[in-house]
């Protein structure tokens, strides 16, 4: 039987201080028996995303190691960036990849949450680990961001699932759980008009009438002098990448704005590229088995 593979995609609220990023990164790379797939640091977002895979217990050990270091290094009271955030360790999804049942992944997520709560950080469970419907969606939990936490922590509705029921200025709060593999896809526009990016994002996201499995926000990329439509595609099978790109291009054209380039943040499932090949290359009959490497994965 093939070994179990669990993926973790941990987001920390630091993308500018190279010394801090180095120490946080070293705490993960020192973890044995994991494969680090991607490390993405963004100065405009002021955020770093770490993605690694391995056996569930090893992945959990890596999450604990990097979390302890990040909580020590990052002071949320000093944090500013374009990406929504509410914690030093902001969101930590665990994603079953191979031979890992959802219940096992949930056990890992909850053990991680208890560990983090033990460090004095308030923790919320989301997606498949959510303890109530209002906490299933990350956007709902993160509403108001870090700045809203002092008030939220006085409302019984926002009592954390783990850790103290109190505003912790240095660490903020962390959201963790188990979810379907998502695609983090950003499209950068040739304009510095943030209102255009926000308007396009509003048309894209499901919550305001857009694509069913698309979450989108407009962000400024000050270092590049342009703006970005930053998206999470929560089900790439039902909302494929080419559909998203075509709609953004059409909307951008309506504003007389061109697309500069796009970004895929972190690794993505090979299956997410299936529709890209079919759509962009106009391949009428394409199967993933036609890709040689799929036969080498075992």
The pair phi, psi for residue 278, each rounded to 5°, is -65, -40
Could you tell me which residue, 55 or 282, shows the higher pLDDT?
55
What is the band of 270 on the pLDDT scale with cuts at 50, 70, 90? Answer: confident
CATH (one of 3.40.50.880, 3.30.70.670, 3.40.50.620, 3.40.50.10070) for 183-295: 3.30.70.670
Place of tokens 């290359």: 281
Place of tokens 């870090």: 146
Q: Where are the domains positioned within the chain?
A: 5-178, 183-295
How far is residue 25 CA from its own chain's centroid?
A: 17
| Calpha distance 289→271 (Å, rounded) | 11
The pair phi, psi for residue 123, each rounded to 5°, is -130, 135
* 5-178 maps to CATH 3.30.990.10: yes
**What per-residue string of b and e applies to 216-255 under the rule 16 or more CB within 10 Å gives b?**
bbbbbbeeeebbbbbbbbbebeebbbebbbebbeebbeee
| Calpha distance 70→83 (Å, rounded) | 18
Q: What is the mean pLDDT of residues 10-19?
A: 97
| Calpha distance 149→200 (Å, rounded) | 28
Residue 45 annotated among the catalytic residues of the structure? no
Task: Quick: pLDDT tens for 195-253.
Answer: 999 999 999 999 899 999 999 999 999 989 999 999 999 889 899 999 999 999 999 99
Task: Flag whether pLDDT at 47 surpasses 90.
Answer: yes
- By the 10 Å C-beta count (0-12 exposed, 13-18 middle, 19+ buried), 99 is classed as middle
Place of tokens 């630091």: 14
What is the band of 286 on the pLDDT scale with cuts at 50, 70, 90? Answer: confident
Task: Return the H-helix or E-strand segment holding 28.
Answer: helix 18-29
- By the 10 Å C-beta count (0-12 exposed, 13-18 middle, 19+ buried), 116 is classed as buried
| Catalytically annotated residue among 45, 79, 80, 83 | 83
Is 216:231 a contact under the CB 8 Å cutoff?
yes
Task: Give me the pLDDT at residue 297, please.
Answer: 58
Q: Look at the pTM and tell me if it is higher than 0.75.
A: yes
Is 220:167 a contact under the CB 8 Å cutoff?
no
Task: Return the H-helix or E-strand segment holding 141.
Answer: helix 138-141
What is the band of 109 on the pLDDT scale with cuts at 50, 70, 90? Answer: very high
Task: Flag whether pLDDT at 89 surpasses 80.
Answer: yes
Q: Using the Cα atoms of residue 144, residue 149, residue 155 and residue 156 in order, give the sign of their dihedral.
A: positive
CA distances from 264 to 30, 42, 67, 142, 155 (A): 26, 13, 24, 22, 37
């Amino acid at each position: 039987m093939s070994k179990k593979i669990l993926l973790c995609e941990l987001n920390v609220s630091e993308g500018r201080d190279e010394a801090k990023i180095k120490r946080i990164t070293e705490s993960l790379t020192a973890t044995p028996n994991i494969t680090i797939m991607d490390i993405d640091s963004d100065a405009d977002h002021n955020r770093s995303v770490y993605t690694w895979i391995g056996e569930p217990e090893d992945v959990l050990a890596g999450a604990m190691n990097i979390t302890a270091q990040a909580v020590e290094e990052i002071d949320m009271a000093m944090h500013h960036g374009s990406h929504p955030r509410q914690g030093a360790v902001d969101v930590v999804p665990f994603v079953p990849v191979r031979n890992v049942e959802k219940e096992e992944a949930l056990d890992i997520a909850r053990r991680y949450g208890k560990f983090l709560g033990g460090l004095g950080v308030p923790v919320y469970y989301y997606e498949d680990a959510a303890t109530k419907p209002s906490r299933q969606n990350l956007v709902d939990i993160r509403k108001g961001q870090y700045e809203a936490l002092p008030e939220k922590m006085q409302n019984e509705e926002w009592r954390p699932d783990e850790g103290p029921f109190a505003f912790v200025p240095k660490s903020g709060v962390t959201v963790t759980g188990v979810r379907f593999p998502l695609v983090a896809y950003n499209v950068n526009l040739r304009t510095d008009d943030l209102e255009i990016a926000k308007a396009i994002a509003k048309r894209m996201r499901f919550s305001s009438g857009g694509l069913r499995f698309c979450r989108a926000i407009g962000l400024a990329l000050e270092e590049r002098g342009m703006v970005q439509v930053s998206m999470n595609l929560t089900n790439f099978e039902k909302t494929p990448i080419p559909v998203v790109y075509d709609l953004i291009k059409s909307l951008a054209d309506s504003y007389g704005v061109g697309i500069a380039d796009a970004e895929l943040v972190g690794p993505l499932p090979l299956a997410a590229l299936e529709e890209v090949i079919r759509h962009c290359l106009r391949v009428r009959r394409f199967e993933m088995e036609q890709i040689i490497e799929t036969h080498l994965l075992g």
